[in-house]
Chains A and B, each alone.
Chain A
C-alpha cells in the first residue's frame, strides 16, 4: 500500500546521523574546504570507530556485531536505509562523507562482481583494525562516459596479471592505494578485440609495486575528498584478484559490472539531496529570521518571487527524493531498477544544482560569502550531476529503456 512515512525506529536512527553531521562534520566543513589536501585524521578515526557508520559502507554486507540499525530498518530495506543515512550525512558535508573510511565504490564493485570467497577475503578488513579505504578506478584521460572504451590492459603472465595504464579521478584513490591498508578496483581489458566483454575488474592491493598515485586533483567542491590520478606500470597482481570469472563472454560480464551502478546511483542521488536540503534549510531559517513568510495555499499569482523560488526549491528536492527512495526500495525488493536508478540520479543531479544555485542567488551577498556554507554547497552539489554517469548518460539510459532501444540504436 502506498506509504511515504518512515517508521519511528528509522527516524530515530536518522537522528543519530544528524548528530554526526552536526557535531563531527559541520564544525570542520569550512576548514577542510579551505585546506584542500590536509587530512582530517581525527574525523577519520571517529568515523571508523562509530558503529553508526555500518550502513553507509557500500558493499559491506556483513552485519557488524551488536549493530541494531539494520534490524530496525528491517533487513529488506537495506538500500533504502543507506539512501536515507547518506542524505543525512551529506546534509552534514558531502566531501567528508566521501572521504569517510570505508569500502566505498571499490567495495560496491567487489559486491557486484566478486565471488563469495572474494567478498569475504577483500572486505573483511573493513570490519577490523585501523581506518581503511576502498576505491574504484574506471575513468581514464581518454575515456569517461564511454566506460567500455578503457585502454588499461591486464595481461596474463603465469599466475599473475600485469596491469598497464593510467586512471584518473579516482575517489579516495590516494587513501586506498597508499595511505591505508585498502585496495583499488581497476577496470582493465584482458582482450581488446572482445570490446566491452573483455573488460574485467581487478583488485589491486595498497602499495602494490607498479601502482603509483601521481597526482591529487584540485577541485571546485567536495575538497575534503581526494581525487587521484593513478599510473599502473607493469603492476603485478595475483590471478585470483580478478573479480568473478576470467572467461571472456559475449553476453553478461560487462553488464553485471554496470549493474553496480543500479545500487550506487540512488546513493549519489541521495548525496545530492542531502546537500540540497542543507541549502534549503539554511534559506528557510534565514527567511524566518527575516520574518519573510512562505504562504502555502494562496493563489500562485499572488506569491512573491522569494516565495515562488523557495517553493520551487522545496518541491524539486522532494520530487528527487521520492524518485530516489523508489529506486532504492525496488532494489530492496529484488526488482530490476536501472530505469528508476537513472531517473533518480538524473533528476537529483539537476534539481540540486538548481536548488543550491538558487540558494546563493536568493541570499545575495550572504549567499556568495565564504563566511557561510551556502556557496560551498553550490560547489559541492555540482559533482552529483557528473560522476556515476553524467546527466546526459543517465538520460541515454532512461531513453533506451523507455524506447526499447539498444546501445547501437541510441548512443
Chain B
C-alpha cells in the first residue's frame, strides 16, 4: 500500500547518521578535499554506526539486522550530505562485504564476513569500472578464462576505492562475453592484494572531484585464482541485482550532495543582498531554488521506489537505472545552480558549492561503486 513515511527505525537511523554527517563529516570535507586525507578518527567514528557489520548475521559477529535497500539509500544520502567522498570511503567495505553476504557460498561468508565485525575500520573494495569512455557493465573487457579448476583474469580496472589499503578486493570480469549481465562473475582477490601475483595497483588516481577518496587503477595480468575465489561458487552471481543495488546507493548519494548544495544556496540567497534586497526575493533566483527543491524530492522518490522494489525481492534493473541516470543529471544541475546563486563567491573555494559541483559530476562518469 502506498506510503511515503519512513518507519520509526529508519527515522532514527536518518537522524543519528544525519546529525553526524551534518556536523562532523561536513567540517572535515573541505580540508579532506584539499589534502586528499580523511582523518582516521572520523572514519573510526563512522564505523561505529555499524555501517557494514550491522547487516552481517550474528553468527559471524555482526548485528544481524535485516538488510533494506531503502534504509541503505537513506544512510547513503545522509552521509553524502556531509561529504560525498568521505561517504564513499566509509562505505567502500560494503562493496566487498555485501556481495559476499548476499551471494557468497557458505564458505565464503564464513571466511570473510567476520573481518568486518571488529572495532576497527576494515578496508575492502571492489573493482568494476574500466578506463574507457564507453565502459559498459554488460560488455566488460576484463576477462576471466577458465584454467583447470581455477580462472585466469586479464584486464584493467579503474576508480577502485581504497585498493591500496584493502586486503580483499572483489574483481568483476566477463566469464561469458556477449551474455550481458548474466555473463559477469566476481572473483575474490585477497591476502594483501598488492602482492598477489598478476595484480598491479597504480599510483593514486587524480580526478576532478571526489578528491578525498583514494582510488586506484588495478591491472590484472595473467592473474590466477582458485575455483573457490569465484563469488557464489558454481552458481555465480546475480550481477544485475548487485548493480541495481549499487545504483540505488550511488544515486542516493547524489541526492545527498544536491540537497547540501540546495540548502546552502537557499540560506545564502536569503542573506545576500543585491540592489538593496535579498537576492532570494528575485524570481530569477527564487525559481532556481524552487526547481532545486522539486528535483531533490523527485530524485529521492525515484530512488526509494527502486529501493522498495529491491526490498520486495523484485527486479529493479529498469527503475534503478532510470533513477541513477536521472539523479546524475539532476544533481549536476542543482549543484551547478548553487554555484550560480552564489555568483562569483560560488566560484571561490572558500565556499563548498564549487566542490559539490565537482563531486556531483562524478555521478555520470562512474557506475558500479557504492552498494547499499
Chain A interface residues (CB < 8 Å from chain B):
1-7, 74, 77, 80, 296-302, 311, 314-315, 318-320, 322-323, 325-326, 329-330, 340, 343, 346-347, 392, 395-396, 398-399, 402-403, 405, 409-410
Q: Is the interface of B mostly helix, strand, loop or mixed?
A: helix
Distance A2 CA – B3 CA, assembled complex (angstroms): 5
Check A320 against B298 for contact (C-beta < 8 Å). Answer: yes
Check A80 against B2 for contact (C-beta < 8 Å). Answer: yes
Task: From the candidates B181, B293, B297, name the one contacting A297 in the complex (CB within 8 A).
Answer: B181
Task: From the candidates B133, B289, B298, name the one contacting A323 in the complex (CB within 8 A).
Answer: B298
Question: For residue B326, which residue of chain A has the nearest CB?
Answer: A315
Taking CB atoms and an 8 Å cut-off, the chain B residues in 134-171 that contact chain A are 134-139
Q: Knowing that A318-B305, A343-B297, A410-B280 touch, tell me 4 more A-B residue pairs with CB under 8 angstroms.
A: A296-B322, A315-B322, A315-B323, A398-B294
Give chain A residues whose Cβ lies under 8 Å from the Cβ of B134. Answer: 299, 301-302
Check A395 against B6 for contact (C-beta < 8 Å). Answer: no
Q: Which of B6, B289, B305 has the most CB of A within 10 A?
A: B305
Give chain A residues whose Cβ lies under 8 Å from the Cβ of B6. Answer: 1-2
Distance A300 CA – B328 CA, assembled complex (angstroms): 11
**Is B59 on the interface with A (CB-CB < 8 A)?**
no
Check A399 against B321 for contact (C-beta < 8 Å). Answer: no
Given contacts A5-B1, A399-B287, contact A405 B281 (CB under 8 A): yes
Check A297 against B286 for contact (C-beta < 8 Å). Answer: no
Give chain B residues whose Cβ lies under 8 Å from the Cβ of A6. Answer: 1-2
Distance A311 CA – B326 CA, assembled complex (angstroms): 10
Give chain A residues whose Cβ lies under 8 Å from the Cβ of B293. Answer: 343, 398, 402
B317: min CB distance to chain A, Å: 5
Give chain A residues whose Cβ lies under 8 Å from the Cβ of B133. Answer: 301
**Is B27 on the interface with A (CB-CB < 8 A)?**
no
Contacts across chains A and B counted by CB atoms under 8 Å: 143
Distance A396 CA – B289 CA, assembled complex (angstroms): 10
**Is B325 on the interface with A (CB-CB < 8 A)?**
yes
Distance A77 CA – B5 CA, assembled complex (angstroms): 14
Distance A4 CA – B367 CA, assembled complex (angstroms): 26
Size of the B side of the interface (Cβ < 8 Å), in residues, is: 54
Give chain B residues whose Cβ lies under 8 Å from the Cβ of A3. Answer: 1-3, 308
Check A326 against B4 for contact (C-beta < 8 Å). Answer: yes
Q: Which of A1, A77, A330, A346 has the most CB of B within 10 A?
A: A1
Check A322 against B298 for contact (C-beta < 8 Å). Answer: yes
Check B70 against A399 for contact (C-beta < 8 Å). Answer: no
Give chain B residues whose Cβ lies under 8 Å from the Cβ of A320. Answer: 298
Give chain B residues whose Cβ lies under 8 Å from the Cβ of A340. Answer: 297
Check A315 against B302 for contact (C-beta < 8 Å). Answer: yes
Task: From the candidates A4, A77, A301, A347, name the one contacting B305 in the complex (CB within 8 A).
Answer: A4
Give chain A residues whose Cβ lies under 8 Å from the Cβ of B266. Answer: 402-403
Check A402 against B289 for contact (C-beta < 8 Å). Answer: yes
Distance A3 CA – B6 CA, assembled complex (angstroms): 9
Give chain A residues whose Cβ lies under 8 Å from the Cβ of B325. Answer: 300, 311, 315
Task: From the candidates A319, A346, A403, name the one contacting B301 in the complex (CB within 8 A).
Answer: A319
Q: Which of A80, A297, A302, A319 has the most CB of B within 10 A?
A: A297
Distance A325 CA – B305 CA, assembled complex (angstroms): 12
Task: From the candidates A2, A323, A410, name the one contacting B286 in the complex (CB within 8 A).
Answer: A410
Distance A392 CA – B283 CA, assembled complex (angstroms): 9
Instruction: Kindly supply a per-residue 1/0 record for chain B positions 209-244, scoring 1 wherever the CB is within 8 Å of any chain A CB and 0 otherwise.
Output: 000000000000000000000000000000010010
Distance A329 CA – B1 CA, assembled complex (angstroms): 11
Would you give 18 A-B contacts (Cβ < 8 Å), ordered by A? Answer: A4-B304, A5-B312, A7-B1, A74-B1, A297-B317, A299-B137, A314-B322, A315-B326, A318-B305, A323-B297, A329-B2, A329-B3, A340-B297, A395-B283, A395-B290, A395-B291, A396-B283, A405-B286
Give chain A residues whose Cβ lies under 8 Å from the Cβ of B286. Answer: 395-396, 399, 403, 405, 410
